[in-house]
Amino acid sequence: MNRIYVDNAATTKMSRKAVKAMLPYLEERYGNPSSLHTAGQLAAEALFNARREIAERLGADVKEIYFTSGGSESDNQALISAAEAGARKGKKHIISQKTEHHAILNTLKKLEKQGFEITLLDVDGEGSITAEQVRSAIRGDTALVTTMTANNEIGTLYPIKEIAEVCRAKGVLFHTDAVQAVGHIPLDVHEIGCDMLSLSAHKFHGPKGVGALYVRNGLMPSCIIEGGAQERGRRAGTENIAGICSMAAALNEAATAIPEDTPKLTAMRDRLIAGLSEIPHSVLNGSTTNRLPGNVNMCFEGIEGESLLLLLDAKGICASSGSACTSGSLDPSHVLLAIGRPHEVAHGSLRLTLSSENTPDEVEFIIRSVKEVVEYLRNMSPIWQELQEGKRNYVIQ
């Protein structure tokens, strides 16, 4: 059976170019960039070139890019760096918002235990916040504001330029988790005006286990992995040269394709939203327009998300109910709760995240399949019976 992969927010398939870019550093050029011999120096040169390419793509300077093991590590390092810099000046307040990824939320919880005060801003019905909310929350002892660029579950885009401007005016550091955005929408660190930005290769058709943190010149990231002097002494460990070179190739390819891919993805996204909205008692999560080009997230009343996913999988459709990190637990998505969906509705969610490999034919097949499966599950559901008989009220009209 032909599998249809529509879970690109969880991870993406590596592109041919990204795979090819790895191979020389696995086979012939396996030297350690810290070694002084020729083999080592070839690796060091490749590392420098990859850093320069990634910096150029983000509008950054080559000295502002630190390689990490992925988005989670970049987020941890960014938050810990800002917290430690703040603490040195007696600033122990951090501002974020409720729909962040757990790499942010759990790091904030840890910092809270260490004596930091955390403000998590409420989001609106589409999952966004305003720069004005950030301005009102900033205090004299605020060390950092961190808000994602785009949400990994519902695709909502945040007004990061405006937030960065507020932060700059108030002299507060600003970090953005851009893991879902890099390679998908145009981004430039100077245009944004952020102090730090996280990215991860496997979200834009690069390999898993490699990412980067942009840190503005003049700021010194804290070292969270101690050891050798790699990454200018800020992140120890022999560099993942193959992964880093592959990430550079993947970013070049993804960023170049944005103008061509965006209209195609947006058209497929909007067709999915229109088709699935024909299902009675369904609702779109997030905004119709202010969202990532490839993201669709809907709730269907009277449905259990996990059953929906399993039946779609049986039809060859790889989808998700939200974040890959919360699946496996029975807790409903913190993002859907934050935008005001009640628990029982939040359990019936479906996230479809497209790549340019998906086709309009696949989109039509997905719409037909979801309609069939939702109807099948509702017919078996006692709760749905009660809703139909008027013994219960619909939450989604």
Ligand X SMILES: *Cc1c(COP(=O)(O)O)cnc(C)c1O
User: Helices 360-380 and 305-314 meet at what angle, rounded to 10?
Assistant: 130
Element (H, E) at 141: none
Q: Which is nearer to ligand X, 91 or 101 (CB)?
A: 101
Among 31, 71, 294, 302, binds ligand X (CB under 6 A): 71
Q: Compose the 169-208 pattern: x for residues touching ligand X by CB under 6 A, - for all others.
A: --------x-xx-------------------x-xx-----
Q: What is the DSSP letter of 183?
A: T
For residue 240, the SS3 value is coil
Q: Which is nearer to ligand X, 186 or 360 (CB)?
A: 186
Which of the residues 194, 223, 299, 325 is marked catalytic? 325
CA distance 54 to 141: 34
CA distance 344 to 333: 11
Residue pair 128/156 in contact (Cβ under 8 Å)? The answer is: yes
72 binds ligand X per the rule CB under 6 A: yes
Closest CA to 213 of 107, 73, 86: 73
- Phi, psi (degrees; rounded to nearest 5) at 350: -140, 125
CB 75 → ligand X: shortest distance, Å?
Answer: 6
> Does 325 participate in catalysis according to the annotation?
yes
Which residues lie below 8 Å from residue 305, measured CB to CB, with a gap of 6+? 321, 322, 347, 348, 349, 350
CB 120 → ligand X: shortest distance, Å?
Answer: 16
134 bridge partner residues: none
- Using the contact rule CB under 6 A, the part of the chain among 44-52, 65-73, 340-348, 389-397 near ligand X is 65-73
CB 89 → ligand X: shortest distance, Å?
Answer: 28
State the CB neighbour count (10 A cutoff) for residue 89: 9
Among 8, 152, 285, 355, binds ligand X (CB under 6 A): 152
CB 101 → ligand X: shortest distance, Å?
Answer: 4
Q: Which is nearer to ligand X, 321 or 369 (CB)?
A: 321
CA distance 91 to 87: 5
Q: Compose the 113-142 pattern: x for residues touching ligand X by CB under 6 A, - for all others.
A: ------------------------------
Among 101, 175, 205, 269, binds ligand X (CB under 6 A): 101
Q: Which residues are catalytic?
A: 325
Per CB under 6 A, residues contacting ligand X are 70-72, 75, 101, 103, 148, 152, 177, 179-180, 200, 202-203, 211
